[in-house]
Chain A
């Protein structure tokens, strides 16, 4: 078990290192000098050189990569060239919007998809199964950002129930802040729910074929008890796996959704950083997103061991 775990952790660290190197190389070959952006077009060459020196831009590539990576580990993410504040401060402010948004979207999609998928499997071939299939097919084809626009048209401009965007900040109180995240999280959750519904249905159908389900039925357990106590817990592994794999798409969706609802989250920060050529912030945000995808999938891998203790023995 310990050996399995340490090997997995090594793999995780290696992947993280490779991603950071990839991002650094791509950002490094990008045209645009952060120091020149800071000083504007009228900068004197010697001032520019001095700033480049102060920012460490005149150092060899490997050293700069090492410094950036070292800074990441110690919590120093570099200095934002456009905001003039540490990138770490910016990042943590924005995380406070994006992470709650992502968590709400995941919870919502699970709350829709798991009951729907289980019902579809339990009543296979009946009306609810077809409805679930149609729902899944459509919600997978719908772009999350378009759902966002439709929600704004309906709830903000027509009905006037919800704000069309913006974020009051957590200092305005929990309820107003959460309220601002309701429509965005619905838009983000819908496509995820479609995928999860299908996976849940297929996984539950698979489990319902197993011998232990037949045994449970033979013992005289009710249909509901067999379904929820035996079938569903055993069907969770594929559901959790897909949830983890979908995380990349959730993040990509968040970039667009934050843009539509004018939420000051990480996605919006990445977009602004790109527009202003704030390369350090851009680099940090992309690494943050990529690392969160990698770590999420690592945790999903580990969760198998909890969900299915049998795997611990065979894990490689």
Chain B
């Protein structure tokens, strides 16, 4: 399972045990500091990314060789790179790039993975076995490697990066929704719905999906963090967006040459990645505590692979 999926409760998350489910909105934030911090970081980053589309301090592509490799504050807030480009502006434009690729990849992965998961749980038997085996196969190829293969296939750029990351997200979401949906299918109200003559598709739409929404939402937040990390790795290897679009990964790759003279070029984009991933992970942890205290509580291991196979009385609303 992806590294950040193995999230257990952070120390502060125990607030969930004390917090009631129906606390007013303002108290929710106070009682869930990780959630508040994660939401704050995420919203701020999304705002910066959107802002970069219309305004950056300097155009991120503008080169001023006379002012190359200037230290932070010497020119611009965060200095300049080897071509004299403004690091802060590149960072802002990079935020849009990272967030939009991560969001697209996770959206595709969630849609296909959820569909596969609920279909497997509804049909069981051979279809489910085939879907789950297919997930094992996809999961075995690390996203960096599938991106390398896809890069040769689709050419460098946004599409290749999105597809490579999404391919890896599909099995993750298929497993999460599959195990959650199987638990729902064992409930009495499903039996009642069947007795009322509803078909598998209708039951999935009306009863299963609404009841497994929480674990999916939590997983989306966590996988966004992972997608950011993967995208950074891809563009670091030159497999993401081609130049001159600034990406955090390529800023780090370029910084490698100047580690001795301009270490800030390597430090600043890395900090941006860490803060972003931290934001999504805190958001995911916080949402888990808020939406599903039982699953997120002390057991902590919400890895689908670790969950005992469909014990109907565990987890889920």
Chain A residues proximal to chain B, CB less than 8 Å: 11, 14-15, 18-19, 22-23, 26-27, 29-32, 125, 129-130, 132-133, 136-138, 140-143, 145-146, 149-150, 152-153, 156-157, 164, 191-192, 194-195, 198-199, 201-203, 205-206, 238, 241-242, 245-246, 248-249, 251-252, 255-256, 259-260, 270-271, 274, 277, 282, 285-286, 289-291, 293-294
Contact = CB atoms under 8 A, between A and B. Distances in A.
Given A26-B150, A270-B148, A282-B148, 16 more contacts: A15-B133, A22-B137, A23-B149, A32-B152, A125-B14, A143-B233, A143-B273, A145-B252, A146-B270, A146-B273, A149-B256, A199-B301, A206-B298, A255-B142, A256-B236, A294-B136
A150 B270 contact: yes
B148 A19 contact: no
A286 B303 contact: no
Interface residues of B, number: 59
Nearest to A140: B4
A149 B256 CA distance: 7
Contacts of B255: 149
Given A145-B233, A195-B6, A137 B144 contact: no
Choose among B148, B266, B267, B299 the residue with the greatest number of A CB atoms under 10 Å from its CB. B148
B225 interface: yes
B268 to A, nearest CB: 11
A220 B143 CA distance: 51
Contacts of A125: 11, 14
Q: Is the interface of A mostly helix, strand, loop or mixed?
A: helix
12 contacts: A18-B133, A125-B14, A132-B11, A140-B7, A140-B277, A142-B274, A143-B233, A146-B266, A194-B3, A270-B145, A271-B237, A291-B140
Contacts of B9: 202
A245 B305 contact: yes
Interface in B284-317: 298-301, 303, 305-306
A242 B303 contact: yes
Contacts of B11: 125, 129-130, 132-133
B282 interface: yes
